[in-house]
Protein backbone atom coordinates (compact mmCIF):
# COMPACT_ATOMS: atom_id res chain seq x y z
CA UNK A 1 0.00 0.00 0.00
CA UNK A 2 1.43 3.40 -0.88
CA UNK A 3 1.93 6.22 1.63
CA UNK A 4 -0.91 8.37 0.26
CA UNK A 5 -3.42 5.53 0.60
CA UNK A 6 -2.23 4.79 4.15
CA UNK A 7 -2.72 8.44 5.15
CA UNK A 8 -6.17 8.43 3.57
CA UNK A 9 -7.22 5.29 5.47
CA UNK A 10 -5.93 6.78 8.73
CA UNK A 11 -7.96 9.97 8.18
CA UNK A 12 -11.05 7.95 7.28
CA UNK A 13 -10.69 5.93 10.49
CA UNK A 14 -10.58 9.18 12.43
CA UNK A 15 -13.66 10.29 10.45
CA UNK A 16 -11.81 13.27 8.97
CA UNK A 17 -12.67 13.68 5.32
CA UNK A 18 -11.86 17.39 5.48
CA UNK A 19 -8.68 18.85 6.96
CA UNK A 20 -7.65 22.51 6.95
CA UNK A 21 -10.44 23.40 4.53
CA UNK A 22 -9.31 20.81 1.98
CA UNK A 23 -10.54 17.36 1.08
CA UNK A 24 -8.32 14.25 1.33
CA UNK A 25 -7.37 14.47 -2.34
CA UNK A 26 -6.44 18.14 -1.92
CA UNK A 27 -9.54 19.58 -3.60
CA UNK A 28 -11.59 22.52 -2.39
CA UNK A 29 -15.29 21.98 -1.62
CA UNK A 30 -16.43 23.28 -5.02
CA UNK A 31 -13.79 21.66 -7.17
CA UNK A 32 -14.29 18.98 -9.83
CA UNK A 33 -11.87 16.15 -10.32
CA UNK A 34 -9.70 16.39 -13.48
CA UNK A 35 -11.67 15.60 -16.64
CA UNK A 36 -10.41 14.20 -19.93
CA UNK A 37 -12.59 13.66 -23.00
CA UNK A 38 -11.71 11.86 -26.23
CA UNK A 39 -14.25 11.68 -29.05
CA UNK A 40 -14.49 9.01 -31.75
CA UNK A 41 -12.26 6.45 -30.05
CA UNK A 42 -14.03 3.38 -31.48
CA UNK A 43 -14.05 2.50 -35.15
CA UNK A 44 -17.05 0.15 -35.23
CA UNK A 45 -19.59 2.27 -33.36
CA UNK A 46 -21.47 5.15 -35.01
CA UNK A 47 -20.36 7.42 -32.19
CA UNK A 48 -18.07 7.00 -29.21
CA UNK A 49 -16.39 8.79 -26.34
CA UNK A 50 -13.78 8.03 -23.69
CA UNK A 51 -14.33 10.03 -20.51
CA UNK A 52 -12.16 10.31 -17.40
CA UNK A 53 -13.32 11.92 -14.17
CA UNK A 54 -10.50 11.59 -11.68
CA UNK A 55 -9.99 7.84 -11.30
CA UNK A 56 -13.17 6.97 -13.22
CA UNK A 57 -12.53 5.67 -16.72
CA UNK A 58 -15.55 5.21 -18.95
CA UNK A 59 -16.30 4.41 -22.59
CA UNK A 60 -19.58 5.14 -24.33
CA UNK A 61 -20.57 3.76 -27.73
CA UNK A 62 -23.67 4.58 -29.76
CA UNK A 63 -25.32 2.68 -32.61
CA UNK A 64 -28.18 3.97 -34.68
CA UNK A 65 -30.68 5.10 -35.52
CA UNK A 66 -31.35 1.59 -36.83
CA UNK A 67 -34.40 -0.63 -37.23
CA UNK A 68 -35.75 -1.68 -33.84
CA UNK A 69 -35.80 -5.41 -33.14
CA UNK A 70 -37.92 -7.13 -31.99
CA UNK A 71 -40.58 -5.41 -34.06
CA UNK A 72 -43.26 -5.62 -31.39
CA UNK A 73 -41.11 -3.31 -29.26
CA UNK A 74 -41.08 -0.62 -31.98
CA UNK A 75 -42.79 2.71 -31.37
CA UNK A 76 -44.67 3.81 -34.49
CA UNK A 77 -44.22 7.48 -33.58
CA UNK A 78 -40.63 7.71 -32.36
CA UNK A 79 -37.30 5.99 -31.83
CA UNK A 80 -36.76 3.81 -28.78
CA UNK A 81 -33.65 4.61 -26.76
CA UNK A 82 -31.83 1.63 -25.26
CA UNK A 83 -29.21 2.37 -22.63
CA UNK A 84 -26.93 -0.24 -21.09
CA UNK A 85 -24.64 0.72 -18.23
CA UNK A 86 -22.17 -2.00 -17.36
CA UNK A 87 -19.33 -2.23 -14.85
CA UNK A 88 -16.36 -4.29 -15.94
CA UNK A 89 -15.36 -7.00 -13.42
CA UNK A 90 -11.98 -5.28 -13.02
CA UNK A 91 -13.46 -1.79 -12.46
CA UNK A 92 -13.85 -2.14 -8.69
CA UNK A 93 -11.54 -3.08 -5.77
CA UNK A 94 -12.72 -6.68 -5.54
CA UNK A 95 -13.70 -8.36 -8.78
CA UNK A 96 -17.31 -7.59 -9.62
CA UNK A 97 -19.46 -10.48 -10.78
CA UNK A 98 -19.94 -9.92 -14.52
CA UNK A 99 -23.37 -9.23 -15.96
CA UNK A 100 -26.38 -7.14 -15.02
CA UNK A 101 -27.46 -6.69 -11.42
CA UNK A 102 -30.12 -4.58 -9.73
CA UNK A 103 -27.85 -1.55 -9.54
CA UNK A 104 -26.84 -1.59 -13.21
CA UNK A 105 -30.48 -2.05 -14.28
CA UNK A 106 -31.40 1.01 -12.22
CA UNK A 107 -28.49 3.12 -13.49
CA UNK A 108 -29.33 2.13 -17.10
CA UNK A 109 -32.96 3.17 -16.60
CA UNK A 110 -32.28 6.56 -15.03
CA UNK A 111 -29.54 7.29 -17.59
CA UNK A 112 -31.90 6.51 -20.47
CA UNK A 113 -34.51 8.79 -18.93
CA UNK A 114 -31.89 11.54 -18.62
CA UNK A 115 -31.64 11.60 -22.44
CA UNK A 116 -35.24 11.10 -23.48
CA UNK A 117 -36.16 14.81 -23.20
CA UNK A 118 -33.28 15.92 -25.46
CA UNK A 119 -33.05 13.24 -28.18
CA UNK A 120 -35.35 14.13 -31.10
CA UNK A 121 -36.88 10.68 -31.15
CA UNK A 122 -39.82 11.74 -33.31
CA UNK A 123 -37.44 12.02 -36.30
CA UNK A 124 -36.98 8.24 -36.34
CA UNK A 125 -40.22 6.29 -35.90
CA UNK A 126 -39.80 2.52 -35.45
CA UNK A 127 -36.05 2.95 -34.95
CA UNK A 128 -33.71 2.11 -32.10
CA UNK A 129 -30.87 4.21 -30.74
CA UNK A 130 -28.52 2.07 -28.67
CA UNK A 131 -26.20 3.52 -26.04
CA UNK A 132 -23.61 1.36 -24.30
CA UNK A 133 -21.63 2.62 -21.32
CA UNK A 134 -18.77 0.52 -20.04
CA UNK A 135 -17.15 1.40 -16.73
CA UNK A 136 -13.50 0.39 -16.98
CA UNK A 137 -12.44 1.85 -13.64
CA UNK A 138 -14.66 3.25 -10.91
CA UNK A 139 -14.22 5.71 -8.07
CA UNK A 140 -17.79 7.02 -7.43
CA UNK A 141 -19.68 9.17 -9.88
CA UNK A 142 -19.64 6.52 -12.60
CA UNK A 143 -23.26 7.17 -13.62
CA UNK A 144 -22.45 10.87 -14.06
CA UNK A 145 -19.29 10.07 -16.04
CA UNK A 146 -21.30 7.58 -18.14
CA UNK A 147 -23.96 10.19 -18.93
CA UNK A 148 -21.31 12.75 -19.90
CA UNK A 149 -19.62 10.19 -22.15
CA UNK A 150 -22.94 9.06 -23.67
CA UNK A 151 -23.92 12.63 -24.43
CA UNK A 152 -20.74 13.21 -26.44
CA UNK A 153 -21.01 9.78 -28.14
CA UNK A 154 -24.61 10.55 -29.19
CA UNK A 155 -23.47 13.84 -30.73
CA UNK A 156 -20.53 12.04 -32.38
CA UNK A 157 -23.02 9.60 -33.92
CA UNK A 158 -24.95 12.56 -35.35
CA UNK A 159 -28.11 11.83 -33.35
CA UNK A 160 -30.20 15.03 -33.36
CA UNK A 161 -30.51 16.42 -29.83
CA UNK A 162 -31.90 19.67 -28.48
CA UNK A 163 -28.69 20.02 -26.49
CA UNK A 164 -25.99 18.07 -24.68
CA UNK A 165 -26.68 16.59 -21.26
CA UNK A 166 -24.06 17.16 -18.57
CA UNK A 167 -23.88 15.44 -15.23
CA UNK A 168 -22.18 15.66 -11.85
CA UNK A 169 -22.82 14.61 -8.25
CA UNK A 170 -22.85 16.77 -5.16
CA UNK A 171 -22.92 15.47 -1.62
CA UNK A 172 -22.15 16.02 2.01
CA UNK A 173 -18.99 15.02 3.86
CA UNK A 174 -18.07 16.01 7.43
CA UNK A 175 -21.17 18.25 7.41
CA UNK A 176 -20.04 20.20 4.32
CA UNK A 177 -21.76 20.33 0.93
CA UNK A 178 -19.14 19.42 -1.66
CA UNK A 179 -18.94 18.84 -5.40
CA UNK A 180 -18.11 15.57 -7.15
CA UNK A 181 -17.50 13.00 -4.38
CA UNK A 182 -14.71 10.46 -4.90
CA UNK A 183 -14.95 6.83 -3.76
CA UNK A 184 -13.72 7.40 -0.20
CA UNK A 185 -16.02 10.40 0.23
CA UNK A 186 -18.97 8.48 -1.19
CA UNK A 187 -18.36 5.51 1.15
CA UNK A 188 -17.88 7.58 4.31
CA UNK A 189 -19.93 10.71 3.57
CA UNK A 190 -23.45 11.62 4.64
CA UNK A 191 -25.13 12.18 1.27
CA UNK A 192 -24.61 11.75 -2.47
CA UNK A 193 -26.84 13.43 -5.06
CA UNK A 194 -26.16 12.73 -8.75
CA UNK A 195 -27.73 15.24 -11.14
CA UNK A 196 -27.92 15.49 -14.93
CA UNK A 197 -29.08 18.58 -16.76
CA UNK A 198 -29.13 20.57 -19.94
CA UNK A 199 -26.62 23.09 -18.68
CA UNK A 200 -27.65 25.98 -20.96
CA UNK A 201 -31.22 26.01 -19.69
CA UNK A 202 -30.71 24.39 -16.25
CA UNK A 203 -33.28 21.75 -17.19
CA UNK A 204 -32.81 18.81 -14.84
CA UNK A 205 -33.16 15.37 -16.45
CA UNK A 206 -31.89 13.22 -13.57
CA UNK A 207 -31.84 13.79 -9.84
CA UNK A 208 -31.25 11.07 -7.27
CA UNK A 209 -30.31 11.26 -3.63
CA UNK A 210 -28.68 8.79 -1.31
CA UNK A 211 -28.55 10.01 2.31
CA UNK A 212 -29.95 13.19 3.80
CA UNK A 213 -29.62 16.89 3.01
CA UNK A 214 -31.54 19.76 4.58
CA UNK A 215 -33.58 21.97 2.24
CA UNK A 216 -30.87 24.64 2.49
CA UNK A 217 -28.09 22.14 1.71
CA UNK A 218 -30.13 20.78 -1.19
CA UNK A 219 -30.45 24.28 -2.66
CA UNK A 220 -26.74 24.95 -2.25
CA UNK A 221 -25.86 21.57 -3.76
CA UNK A 222 -28.10 22.17 -6.74
CA UNK A 223 -26.50 25.53 -7.41
CA UNK A 224 -23.06 23.94 -7.17
CA UNK A 225 -24.08 21.20 -9.60
CA UNK A 226 -25.45 23.76 -12.06
CA UNK A 227 -22.15 25.62 -12.15
CA UNK A 228 -20.17 22.39 -12.55
CA UNK A 229 -22.45 21.14 -15.34
CA UNK A 230 -21.77 24.36 -17.23
CA UNK A 231 -18.02 23.69 -16.93
CA UNK A 232 -18.51 20.09 -18.11
CA UNK A 233 -20.75 21.27 -20.97
CA UNK A 234 -17.98 23.58 -22.20
CA UNK A 235 -15.49 20.68 -22.15
CA UNK A 236 -17.93 18.39 -24.01
CA UNK A 237 -18.54 21.09 -26.59
CA UNK A 238 -14.82 21.80 -26.99
CA UNK A 239 -14.06 18.10 -27.51
CA UNK A 240 -16.77 17.83 -30.18
CA UNK A 241 -15.71 21.01 -31.96
CA UNK A 242 -12.13 19.76 -31.99
CA UNK A 243 -13.26 16.41 -33.38
CA UNK A 244 -15.26 17.90 -36.22
CA UNK A 245 -12.84 20.66 -37.09
CA UNK A 246 -9.80 18.36 -37.27
CA UNK A 247 -9.19 16.79 -40.67
CA UNK A 248 -7.93 13.47 -39.26
CA UNK A 249 -10.30 10.72 -38.18
CA UNK A 250 -8.16 9.67 -35.26
CA UNK A 251 -10.41 11.22 -32.63
CA UNK A 252 -9.88 14.29 -30.49
CA UNK A 253 -8.95 15.07 -26.92
CA UNK A 254 -10.00 17.68 -24.42
CA UNK A 255 -8.73 17.98 -20.88
CA UNK A 256 -9.21 19.89 -17.66
CA UNK A 257 -6.64 19.33 -15.00
CA UNK A 258 -7.60 20.19 -11.42
CA UNK A 259 -7.42 23.91 -10.62
P1 LIG B 1 -21.86 5.95 -8.85
O2 LIG B 1 -20.66 5.23 -9.38
O3 LIG B 1 -22.73 6.50 -9.93
O4 LIG B 1 -21.49 6.97 -7.80
P5 LIG B 1 -22.86 4.36 -6.62
O6 LIG B 1 -23.04 5.51 -5.70
O7 LIG B 1 -23.88 3.26 -6.63
O8 LIG B 1 -22.80 4.87 -8.14
O9 LIG B 1 -21.46 3.68 -6.40
C10 LIG B 1 -20.36 4.38 -5.91
C11 LIG B 1 -19.10 3.59 -6.14
O12 LIG B 1 -19.15 2.36 -5.41
C13 LIG B 1 -18.88 3.15 -7.59
O14 LIG B 1 -18.34 4.17 -8.40
C15 LIG B 1 -17.93 2.01 -7.40
O16 LIG B 1 -16.60 2.47 -7.25
C17 LIG B 1 -18.42 1.38 -6.10
N18 LIG B 1 -19.29 0.24 -6.42
C19 LIG B 1 -20.54 0.26 -6.91
N20 LIG B 1 -21.01 -0.99 -7.11
C21 LIG B 1 -20.05 -1.83 -6.74
C22 LIG B 1 -19.91 -3.26 -6.68
N23 LIG B 1 -20.89 -4.08 -7.09
N24 LIG B 1 -18.75 -3.75 -6.23
C25 LIG B 1 -17.77 -2.94 -5.81
N26 LIG B 1 -17.82 -1.60 -5.84
C27 LIG B 1 -18.93 -1.04 -6.29
Per DSSP, the residues of 2-18 read -HHHHHHHHHHHTT-SE
Atom number of ligand 1 nearest to Cα 140: 14
User: Nearest residue CA, atom 23 of ligand 1?
Assistant: 96
| Counts for the chain of helices (H) and strands (E), in that order | 5, 13
CA–centroid distance, 141 to ligand 1, in Å, is: 8
Ligand 1 contact, 57 CB (< 6 A):
no
b/e map 191-222, b = 16+ CB within 10 Å? bbbbbbbbbeeeebbbeebeeebeeebbeebb
d(CA 91, ligand 1 centre) in Å: 9
pLDDT digits (tens, 9 = 90+) for 161-176: 999 999 999 999 999 9
Dist. CA 230 → ligand 1 center (Å):
25
With 0.85 as the threshold, say if the pTM is over it. Answer: yes
Among the listed residues 34, 92, 36, 80, the one whose alpha carbon sits nearest the alpha carbon of residue 59: 36
Predicted local distance difference test score (pLDDT) of residue 12: 75
Q: What is the pLDDT of residue 255?
A: 75
Give the per-residue pLDDT at 259: 44
- How many Cα neighbours within 13 Å face the side chain of 118? 29
Which of ligand 1's atoms lies nearest the C-alpha of 56?
14
Give me the residues of the chain with pLDDT under 50, please: 247, 259
Q: What is the pLDDT of residues 96-138, one digit of tens each?
A: 999 999 999 999 999 999 999 999 999 999 999 999 999 999 9
- Sorted by where each starts, the structural domains of the chain and their CATH numbers stand as 28-243 (3.30.230.70)
Rounded Cα distance between 182 and 167, Å, is: 15
Question: So what's the pLDDT on residue 3?
Answer: 80
Which residues have CB under 8 Å from 197's CB, separation 6+?
Answer: 165, 166, 167, 203, 204, 205, 206, 225, 226, 229
Amino acid sequence: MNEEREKEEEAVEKRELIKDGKRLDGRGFEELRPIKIEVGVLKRADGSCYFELGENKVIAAVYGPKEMHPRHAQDAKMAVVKFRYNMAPFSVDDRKRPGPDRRSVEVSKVSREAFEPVIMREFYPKAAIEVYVEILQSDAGTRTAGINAASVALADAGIPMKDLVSSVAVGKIDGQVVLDLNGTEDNHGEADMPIAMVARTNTITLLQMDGHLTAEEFGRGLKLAMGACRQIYELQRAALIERFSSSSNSGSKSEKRGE
